[in-house]
């Protein structure tokens, strides 16, 4: 590490006081939170004003795929800022064209046109609009165990409980069950059976909704926030075939799984499946400047060849965001960062987590690939009862709160959601860092074990 954290608690207290006075935080009861004041970050670490360092096993919100403060990306933003900070989306500019080319080159199949947004939810909103205009149909099918963003349509598509308070305008959204063998909605006992039953359930849902009313099916290629559930072999190919049969647009949401996280550029590459629309954000530029987008098939792009696309954003293809995406993608290619994510997952994190699981009664299942892993924590290994009730808060959530606190005491920043902890370090994580994080996790799981039966 080139920058060493120093201790300045008074500065930290001032930052915190100003935050409490004026910042309104996402997903939070404003009076019940106590955000950590952050002084700096580099690579796989960030640190507070007491000089305490945290190994970032959350990648913030699973976005810093290239680590914090990558020098090539920082330099690219600085150079672009000196040259051209902003320009409306209607102009052709070098950085926008080049960022679009680099993304299109990596997305599967003929997804060769890129519509840029400021983040993931806007990408989902626009993908849905494109599908509706392309098909002339209105309904969109999405999975219960999913997260697609917090804007109006994206939160309705989201399956997890964050949808509930905003579920006021879900006209046209229909949820279905996607495969998840460990907690199988189909009571299946093998991956093949789970896959077959999940596809049959989707077909039944389509039949009863009316195929002629369905514009799109949206799925996260590997659902992220909902628990990193790698679909069984054949499932995504089966959904592709169903979409083709009924003229339904297939949208894969790769906002979290894309850009190296799974050890490939896109998670779809693991399954040999090409959607009609692919949404991305986060890892495209590690979130250094807000950026997302939709990669569009030739057929859907042609719909808007002679007819205007009725959507746009002031900052679509923002020069600073595009410059950071170019630098990120080039650095990932030059430095073998995607390959590193695959190798660390296969050789260090996967085996390490499985070994840890054997020692801890609270670990029900280990699942994932690349630098995209989840531990499903349980109260009872036999019944698989989750360590905390579904959508728990307050005292009900104490077991997970104890576990997260133990991670932080040990110097690890975890990604905790409901009864799971996700192991999602940067794609640049070294073997030594991965092992350091696994050791802290191993010890912290004792706090979860204390709540098992």
In the region spanning residues 212 to 251, those forming contacts with ligand PMP, defined by CB under 6 A, are: 220, 224-225
Give the residue nearest to ligand PMP (CB). Answer: 120
Instruction: Give the number of other CB atoms < 10 A from CB of residue 92.
Output: 8
Place of tokens 């002084």: 39
**Per-residue contact string for residues 122-151; x = within reach of ligand PMP by CB under 6 A:** --x----------------------xxx--
**Per-residue contact string for residues 44-63; x = within reach of ligand PMP by CB under 6 A:** -----------------x--
- Of positions 39, 99, 121, 374, contacts ligand PMP by CB under 6 A: 121
How many helical (H) and strand (E) elements, i.e. helices and strands, does the chain have?
14, 16
Beta strand residue intervals within 254-298, DSSP E = 277-280, 292-296
Q: Should residue 256 be labelled a site residue for ligand PMP when binding is judged by CB under 6 A?
A: yes
- Of positions 5, 67, 120, 350, contacts ligand PMP by CB under 6 A: 120
Give least dist CB 257 to ligand PMP, A. Answer: 7
Longest CA–CA span in the chain (Å) reads: 64
Contact 267, 221 (CB under 8 A): yes
Give least dist CB 149 to ligand PMP, A. Answer: 3
Contact 294, 127 (CB under 8 A): yes
Shortest CA distance to 411 belongs to which of 55, 58, 36? Answer: 55
Q: Residue 208, SS3?
A: helix
Q: Which stretch binds ligand PMP (CB under 6 A): 29-37, 118-126, 159-167, 320-328?
A: 118-126
Nearer to ligand PMP by Cβ, of 179 and 224: the residue is 224
Nearer to ligand PMP by Cβ, of 278 and 348: the residue is 278
Nearer to ligand PMP by Cβ, of 321 and 348: the residue is 321
DSSP states of 11-61 as a string? HHHHHHHHHHHH---TTS-GGG--PPPEEEEEBTEEEETTS-EEEESSHHH
Nearer to ligand PMP by Cβ, of 220 and 365: the residue is 220
The residue ranges that bind ligand PMP (CB under 6 A) are 61, 119-121, 124, 147-149, 220, 224-225, 253, 255-256, 281, 292
């Amino acid at each position: 590490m080139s920058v060493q954290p120093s201790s300045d608690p008074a500065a930290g207290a001032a930052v915190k006081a100003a935050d409490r006075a004026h910042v309104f935080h996402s997903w939070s009861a404003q009076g019940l939170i106590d955000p950590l004041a952050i002084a700096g970050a580099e690579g796989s670490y960030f640190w507070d004003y007491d000089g305490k360092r945290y190994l970032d096993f959350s990648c913030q919100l699973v976005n810093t795929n290239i680590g914090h403060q990558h020098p090539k990306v920082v330099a690219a933003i600085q150079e672009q800022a000196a040259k051209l900070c902003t320009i409306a989306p209607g102009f052709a500019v070098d950085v926008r064209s080049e960022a679009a080319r680099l993304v299109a080159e990596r997305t599967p199949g003929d997804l060769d046109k890129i519509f840029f947004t400021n983040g993931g939810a806007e990408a989902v909103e626009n993908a849905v609009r494109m599908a509706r205009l392309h098909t002339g149909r209105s309904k969109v099918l999405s999975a219960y165990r999913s997260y697609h963003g917090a804007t109006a349509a994206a939160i309705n598509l989201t399956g997890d409980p964050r949808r509930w308070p905003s579920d006021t305008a879900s006209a046209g959204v229909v949820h279905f069950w996607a495969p998840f063998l460990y907690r199988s909605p189909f009571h299946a006992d093998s991956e093949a059976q789970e896959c077959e039953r999940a596809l049959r359930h989707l077909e039944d849902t389509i039949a009863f909704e009316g195929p002629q009313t369905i514009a799109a099916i949206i799925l996260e290629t590997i659902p992220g926030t909902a628990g990193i559930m790698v679909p069984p072999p054949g499932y995504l190919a089966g959904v592709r075939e169903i979409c083709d049969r009924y003229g339904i647009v297939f949208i894969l949401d790769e906002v979290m799984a894309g850009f190296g996280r799974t050890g490939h550029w896109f998670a779809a590459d693991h399954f040999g499946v090409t959607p009609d629309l692919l949404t991305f954000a986060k890892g495209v530029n590690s979130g250094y400047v807000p950026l997302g987008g939709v990669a569009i098939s030739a057929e859907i792009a042609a719909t808007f060849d002679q007819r205007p696309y009725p959507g746009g954003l002031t900052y679509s293809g923002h020069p600073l965001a595009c410059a950071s995406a170019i630098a990120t993608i080039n650095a990932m290619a030059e430095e073998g960062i995607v390959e590193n994510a695959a190798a660390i997952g296969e050789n260090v994190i996967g085996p390490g987590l499985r070994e840890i699981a054997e020692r801890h009664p609270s670990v029900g299942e280990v699942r994932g690939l690349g630098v995209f892993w989840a531990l499903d924590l349980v109260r009872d290994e036999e019944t698989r009862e989750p360590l905390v009730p579904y959508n728990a808060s307050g005292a009900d959530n104490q077991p997970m709160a104890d576990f997260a606190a133990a991670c932080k005491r040990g110097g690890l920043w975890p990604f905790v959601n409901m009864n799971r902890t996700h192991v999602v370090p940067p794609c640049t994580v070294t073997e030594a860092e991965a092992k350091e994080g696994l050791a802290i996790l191993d010890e912290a799981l004792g706090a979860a074990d204390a709540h098992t039966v």
